[in-house]
Chain A
């Protein structure tokens, strides 16, 4: 094209790594990447997007995993007339061998723009920009390389998990094994959209919630424990020696006053009945305090971003569940939820919105769970009760 892109070029400056440099790197080998830079400049000038609404494209046997994308200025930028995205299911924990990563690069050099996101918001590898003709061959080569597509549309979206036991001493569940197991079990639900809307599953090993499961997942699994957190008094002494303010920064910041500082003995004590497992003391005294031994997870339901009825956080559904392979109990619960939601949900209604519309009481009955105080912050204030 040879078009000038002064505004985009401006973003090559500055200390943070530049995505414009990356587009230009891809543009050296690929005409679509070159046109993409032109589209970016055009959007900078007229302050609107130049991508058209959707378009149904895909690969044989699947109903999702590909996002159709067409330019509204194909005359100016013919190489991005169609510029579809493939969502590729990442390995659990986003671990890679360089050998596997290079395979993906080779497939994408052959079939696409050479531009990617590592990763998208949901967690997939995003292969950004290819033509309709290349979709099937690209998919075939991805399968050959050992990769498969992730979810899109009204399907189970690619489940994700935090790094868990691979590199974290705080995890209470085997997040990676579980996410891999669920992903393999529910391949059909991921690849063939059939529900009222999307359904997200995210697994965090502890209440720090590194994959934002409580905010972003319809079905939220967060590792926790039922007994007492463990304190190594010898290690506590080391913190004291280094003049770490155990009383001020740890004991006084405990949200439920479950910790006590014995000034004389220089010992840190916990009252496990008062502890709500918020992680603060564990986070800040990594060498001295660890989660308990009776490990499992809290299951929460209904988290989502604003569309349509406003943002929701997941709320407690099962206060504690032991999670061991093959994870039958949790899979059964998911299937019951899907059945109820599929039966009663309106188009584009997330499960959290449906629960609000139909009432938690009805939802609990449908999935066979008993109400417990852990499910609410407080009981209702109004007298408008259905019997």
Chain B
């Protein structure tokens, strides 16, 4: 048996020399062009970062390819960002252009810095997850094909962070993103009572439901449960604790879109994303309804927001009523909250726009 609990490798062994030398002593940075950052240390040393996009799901040969670039131009060091971008780091300005060229040869765009759309944080989807209500990688690919010009430029009013979660577990800060795409179920779980009796505990399954929709089966001879359709909001918590409560449904599953969230404390405090489109169909492989809706919002935001305003700050200033008018998105009944803290979102003033 091998050793255990050795923990991750020490980051000190992973950092390039120029970083080790200037660790904690950086003076300032500037964006030279989309995807290229220049950091200057108190010592006067310079560090150039070239940020390139990646599809997140990559083969080991892809990793070896980017290692080749880092070996040639970055003394064998590279890093990744929290949004799956690859960053090539070098103290030599002359290396920037060849790195961009080498990345381009691999099909990797340089960008994702400043007032841009960086890579879309996303989950596994149908490709690898059991609770997915939609797929992830294909929607991201279809969207980034359309939004490509916003990754490789810095022409937006502010940063625009897009995230995607394939179910409402929302792995990835989807609940606080400028634009969020979330897979949703719209049909109640299909209870398999035979399986349930064999592999799950009935009280645990019942207790897992946040709205009390799961009840003991009325027939005492049936060891199982029933779901009250009027109480179920398809959260999937029961399915997570019991595989006999399958939610996936080819017809009912689809996509919801949220807008206006952010994580940063800059200017306004962090904000939650708000539901703006309750349902769009799953339409593989390119989900045109989702792509069109997101693209439309990005364009309206780009045309109307003030410099530096994030989507949520912009909407707060113009009002949600104006947002729906400008984007042409219909205001659906599902957008009015009816869960725990619903009242906080209802308008308790006569101040609004027409």
Contacts and interface: CB of A to CB of B under 8 A. Distances in A.
A375 interface: no
Given A53-B239, A105-B60, A17 B8 contact: no
A130 B57 CA distance: 15
B14 A89 contact: no
Given A118-B54, A148-B5, A16 B169 contact: no
Interface in B129-188: 129-132, 135, 137-138, 141-142, 144-145, 148, 151, 165, 168-176
A358 interface: no
A366 B141 CA distance: 48
A48 B249 contact: yes
Interface stretch (A181-189, A259-267, A324-332): A181-189
A210 interface: yes
A180 B14 CA distance: 13
Interface string A333-354: 0000000000000111000000
B56 A19 contact: yes
Contact of B175 (A22, A305, A346): A305
Interface string A38-63: 01100110111111111000001110
Contacts of B77: 95-98
Given A16-B148, A22-B62, A115-B59, A95 B11 contact: yes
12 contacts: A11-B138, A23-B59, A49-B129, A61-B1, A91-B14, A115-B58, A121-B123, A162-B82, A171-B24, A180-B11, A222-B265, A313-B270
A170 B250 CA distance: 48
Contact of A17 (B10, B107, B171): B107
A266 to B, nearest CB: 20
Contacts of B243: 52-54
Contacts of B24: 165, 171, 174
A193 interface: no
A117 B56 contact: yes
Nearest to A27: B59
B141 A191 contact: no
Interface string A206-235: 011111101110000010000000000000
B27 to A, nearest CB: 6
B127 A36 contact: yes
Contacts of A16: 53, 55, 109, 141, 144-145, 148, 151
A216 B29 CA distance: 27
A25 B106 CA distance: 13
Interface of A: 7-8, 10-11, 13-20, 22-23, 25-26, 33, 36, 39-40, 43-44, 46-54, 60-62, 69, 83, 85, 89-102, 104-105, 108-109, 114-119, 121-123, 128-129, 139-140, 143-144, 146-148, 160, 162-163, 165-169, 171, 174, 176, 180, 183-184, 187-188, 191, 207-212, 214-216, 222, 249, 253, 255, 277-280, 283-284, 286-287, 290, 305-311, 313, 346-348
Contact of A208 (B70, B86, B210, B266): B266
Nearest to B264: A208
A33 B27 CA distance: 46
Nearest to B168: A306
Contact of B55 (A18, A69, A83): A18
Given A14-B145, A117-B56, A43 B241 contact: no
Given A116-B63, A307-B235, A308-B237, A188 B7 contact: no
A118 B5 contact: no
B284 interface: yes
B339 interface: yes
B13 interface: yes
Contacts of B80: 94, 96, 118-119
A92 B12 CA distance: 9
Contacts of A143: 2-4, 6
Contacts of A188: 5
B26 A215 contact: no
B234 to A, nearest CB: 12
A40 B137 CA distance: 10
B148 to A, nearest CB: 5
B333 interface: no
B286 interface: yes
Given A22-B55, A40-B135, A43-B127, 19 more contacts: A16-B151, A36-B127, A47-B251, A49-B130, A51-B126, A89-B8, A93-B79, A98-B78, A105-B61, A108-B60, A114-B59, A118-B86, A180-B11, A187-B7, A215-B176, A279-B265, A283-B266, A306-B170, A307-B235
A47 B27 CA distance: 51
B19 interface: yes
B171 A14 contact: no
Interface residues of B, number: 118
B308 A306 contact: no
B208 A309 contact: no
Nearest to B19: A166
A126 to B, nearest CB: 9
Given A95-B15, A165-B23, A249-B308, A209 B265 contact: yes
Smallest CB-CB A-B distances: 8 pairs? A14-B145, A53-B243, A207-B265, A165-B24, A16-B144, A43-B126, A95-B14, A98-B67
Contacts of A290: 28
A342 to B, nearest CB: 18
A165 B26 CA distance: 8
A289 B149 CA distance: 31
Contacts of B137: 19
Contacts of A210: 82
Contact of B78 (A13, A89, A96): A96
A313 B250 contact: no
B278 interface: no
Contacts of A287: 28, 30
A287 B40 CA distance: 10
A107 to B, nearest CB: 9
A11 B81 contact: no
A297 B1 CA distance: 41
Contact of A116 (B49, B58, B250): B58
B259 interface: no
A346 B207 CA distance: 10
A212 B173 contact: yes
Nearest to B74: A98
B266 A280 contact: yes
B113 interface: no
B26 A167 contact: yes
B210 A44 contact: no
